[in-house]
Structure 1
Amino acid sequence: MTHFMAIFFSSLLMCSNVFAGSVSSVSLGALSTALNERMQVMKAVAGYKALHHLPVEDLPREQVVLDNMLQHAQQAGLEPHSVVPFAHALMNASKAIQYRYRADWLSSPDRDVSVRELAGTRQQIEQLDAQLLTAINQHLVIGTFSQEDKDFLMSHLTAPHLSENDKNTLFASLARIQRLH
């Protein structure tokens, strides 16, 4: 009977490890997809701002984005204050991408820039932010972000104009996020 129980518990442990690994890969995939989509939207934001002669930096808008992220963090089961550095890293990477697109357009104007109203784009960004926070929470349910997770994200974050430094800053702030207790 003791032998049977040992086999049962070791099988249960192995199944839980397989399940945790599959949840981890799904949440990392969702996280990298949402991050890439969010960064790719920055081309449209940069195009709109360039067309309308608006600055890349918009501090009142950044406060709205931060407030929305904190609200979504709470809803996703994350400690809102631990999300603040990630939100700032996300906005800084987004601004850097916008600046890089605008610099490219100065030397070679891109005629294929899709310019739509910012309201729809901002709504899309807010939805992506909510997806990001949900994926982060799903990952944190099974553990913290590891070096393997960083390697995965670094290789899967392929949005144009997202630099290695941007990726490192995003991951460092991501690794500091905590779940609500």
Structure 2
Amino acid sequence: MMQFVAVFLSSLFICSNALAGTVSPDAISAALNERMQIMKAVAGYKARHHLPVEDLPREQVVLDKMLRNAQQTGLEPQSVTPFIHALMNASKAIQYRYLADWLATPENARAPADLAETRQQIERLDTELLTAIGQRLTAGPLTASDSHRLIAALAAPHLSEADKASLVASLTRIQRKA
């Protein structure tokens, strides 16, 4: 009996290690949802400090960092660029939607977190996101079923259906480096 248990456990260990390299679309959608939810804090900080939503120099910094991370995670940087733009566009759209809501009904909640801290969270999530995408693509390209599952799982507040479609369409075009 003990030998059976030992064989079973070692088989389970081998199988779990073999499957550890694949990532489901759920990890990607979780990172995307978390990143999009942070946009409320970004919008709150910008509103409180009278800063514009669009910050092109900052967007260039984000683009450059994400392209470096993409290359390090084995992704083809040129195929990642449209996804990064879709990600930043969705992020800005969410911020604008919060600002529009607050014009009609001001939110008197606690003060928003410092923008530098929030940006660190976003950078961490961007790295997690690119890593999850890279790991998922080792199993092959995203399927139509994966795309539908991703769109259904994206549920961050103020993320429109058009934002979801743009994110997932650009995500499906990401390729691993040859």
TM-score by length of 2: 0.87
Aligned length: 162
The answer on whether the counterparts of 1:82 and 1:176 sit within 8 Å (CA) in structure 2 is: yes
The match for 1:45 is 42
- Aligned-pair identity in percent equals 65
Whichever residue aligns with residue 116 of structure 1, its letter is A
Q: Which residue of 2 aligns with 1:88?
A: 85
Equivalent in 29, 32, 44 of residue 29 of structure 2: 32
Match status 1:140 vs 2:132: no
Q: CA deviation at 1:113?
A: 5.2
Q: Distance in 2 between matches of 1:31 and 1:112?
A: 30
1:103 aligns with 2:100: yes
**Shift in CA distance, 113/93, structure 1 to aligned 2, threshold 3 Å:** farther
8 Å contact kept, 1:44–1:114: no
Aligned to 1:71: 68
Contact kept in structure 1, 2:70 and 2:130, CA below 8 Å: yes
What SS class does the counterpart of residue 53 from structure 1 fall into?
Answer: coil
Distance 2:146 2:111 in 1: 33
Structure having the higher helix fraction is: 1
Letter in 2 for 1:57: E
Report the residue type matching 1:155 in the other structure.
Answer: A
Unaligned runs of 5+ in 1: 1-15
2:88 & 2:123 partners in 1: Cα distance? 12
Displacement after TM superposition at 1:147 (Å): 1.0
Please state how far the C-alpha of 1:99 moved relative to its aligned partner.
Answer: 0.1
